[in-house]
Structure 1
Amino acid sequence: MAELEVANHAKQALKIVTDQQHPFWHKLRELLFEVSIIIFAVSISIWMHGIGERHHEQEQVKTFLLGLKRDLQGDLNTINNVVKFHKEMDASFIYLRSLNPADPIDAEKFDAAYVKILSSTMFRPEVSRYEGFKSSGKLINIDNDDLVEKILSYYHTSWPIPQEQYWLSRRNKMISYIESIEEKGEDRAEQYKLITSAKGKYLLKSMPTNNELYGVYSDFAGMGKEIIQQIDQMYPEAAK
């Protein structure tokens, strides 16, 4: 509609310029009137386009942030499961270290704890949605600067973190140690002897998850909760 108005008034302006019947000052007045209408129409068109573009950008932001909220909720669930698993492993390591070589083997309990040595689970955030939105350059469309800063801090953490690497290095030493026996066959008596040996107890002593790693998981979960809270404040109708 605006384009049609501009075209009509442009034709009228051209008609005024080529008019030979009216004096110069009359034509100038009419020409200025037509030009002012054209400028106004163009300005309105640009303004309306800007509003439409802005609305489209904010709809994209909303879709992204609500999707990010679901990703973060999944991350929080994963962190809870990882922490739960590590605590179960810690209990198994403490139990194995308490065993006495001369004590009879509680086969069921020993086997369950021994398997934990071979188990491992670590937290890795879901990043595909964030990476896609960031690579498109659309993070700047989020008006809440504090929220953007929190999102950047959350997703710019490099995994595995040092605390994880430290724990994994200790676990790998333990794995290497037990593999030297298991090459001869997975015999429970040999496994028990391995675990209750001086070296086995020494390695088990360093196996429980350190408080620093638990602290990192707790802090990371806190960051995720803060982001979710701010997203809920922006879109209360979608808060659950």
Structure 2
Amino acid sequence: MQEEITKHSEKIYKTVKNSEHTLGEKLKEIIVEICIIVFAVTLSIGLHSWSEHRHQQEEVSVFLANLKNDLKNDIKNIDNEKKAYQKSNLGYKKILALTPLQLDSISKSKNTVNFPIHAHGQTMSIGNYEGFKSSGKIGYIEDEKLKQKILTYYQIFVPAINEVDKMYNDFLFKCFDKMIENADKSEAEMYSDPKFKKTIEFVVKLGKNNIRVYDQNTKPLAIELIKEIDKELNK
């Protein structure tokens, strides 16, 4: 391109210096050469912009394909964690249902109460999103609706489930602390303690709440995003 501009610029210079042509002829030749230069520059810029846009959209397509796989993994992890919550809650409910007589019987038979020990919290796949976002390429996504849903999922819903999992685990650790504090007492005494039972009740409630967050918030948006990504990739 630089060579073409230089060539036509030289023609303009030679035209100006040409004493054999009239002023009108010189002006016509100069205008033609200028038009050629302008056209060439405009075409070059247009081709460059088209090429750059095409490259950006190719990057978006790769990103969305990877994101789709991440979302599928998230859904699997959510389903697995939901089952783990349900299993833990079932175990805690059995503990809460134990009567003083049953607890006493367990102690006398030298058996132990089966207390579920499961710190919850699935690992969400955020690597592709974080990499694309940190490189400043999120703006390449031209479908504004899709872009906003992706941002909502990763900036609101993913942090939200991490937070509810953390809250659950905090209460679960309080149960562990209580067990350590009452290590010198029998299980019948410990599991009959109102404060300990109340803590377990909160653990159950938090478990139910977290299942609701998974089922009603995070998972539906992940499913919706996969559908939107499929539409975008199949355009």
Specify the TM-score bucket, using the shorter chain as the normaliser: 0.7 to 0.9
1:130 and 2:129 correspond: yes
Q: 1:105 to 1:4 in 2, by over 3 A?
A: same
Q: In structure 2, what is the Cα distance between the partners aligned to 1:19 and 1:110?
A: 109
Q: CA offset at residue 132 of structure 1? A: 1.9
Output one character per residue of 1:129-156: Cα deviation in whole Å (capped at 9) or x when no partner. 2122112221111010001111111111
Runs ≥4 in structure 1, deviation > 6 angstroms? none
> In the alignment, what sits opposite 1:203?
199
Q: CA offset at residue 159 of structure 1? A: 4.5
Q: In structure 1, what is the Cα distance between the partners aligned to 2:44 and 2:163?
A: 55
Q: 1:236 to 1:191 in 2, by over 3 A?
A: farther
Query: Any stretches of 5+ residues in structure 2 without a counterpart?
Result: none
Q: In structure 2, what is the Cα distance between the partners aligned to 1:192 and 1:53?
A: 72
Deviates more, 1:83-92 or 1:64-73: 64-73
Q: In structure 1, what is the Cα distance between the partners aligned to 2:35 and 2:135?
A: 39
RMSD, matched Cα:
2.6
How many pairs are equivalent?
Answer: 227
Q: Any conservation in 2 of the 1:167–1:209 contact (CA below 8 Å)?
A: no
Task: Give the TM-score of the pair, scaled to structure 2.
Answer: 0.84
Task: Give the TM-score of the pair, scaled to structure 1.
Answer: 0.83
> In the alignment, what sits opposite 2:209?
212
| Percent of pairs with identical residues | 26
Output one character per residue of 1:167-191: Cα deviation in whole Å (capped at 9) or x when no partner. 3343232111112244x6xxxx944
Q: CA offset at residue 195 of structure 1? A: 2.8
> In the alignment, what sits opposite 1:97?
96
Q: In structure 2, what is the Cα distance between the partners aligned to 1:122 and 1:139?
A: 27
Q: Any conservation in 2 of the 1:124–1:159 contact (CA below 8 Å)?
A: no
1:224 and 2:217 correspond: no
Output one character per residue of 1:70-122: Cα deviation in whole Å (capped at 9) or x when no partner. 11111111111111100000000011222234334499x966x32x1x32111
Deviates more, 1:221-230 or 1:191-200: 191-200
Q: In structure 2, what is the Cα distance between the partners aligned to 1:236 and 1:121?
A: 37
> In the alignment, what sits opposite 1:55?
54
Matches within 5 A, 1:5-154: 5-103=4-102, 104-105=105-106, 113-114=114-115, 116=116, 118-154=117-153
Query: Any stretches of 5+ residues in structure 1 without a counterpart?
Result: none
Q: Any conservation in 1 of the 2:78–2:219 contact (CA below 8 Å)?
A: yes
What SS does structure 2 have at the residue aligned with 1:207? Answer: helix
> In the alignment, what sits opposite 1:236?
234
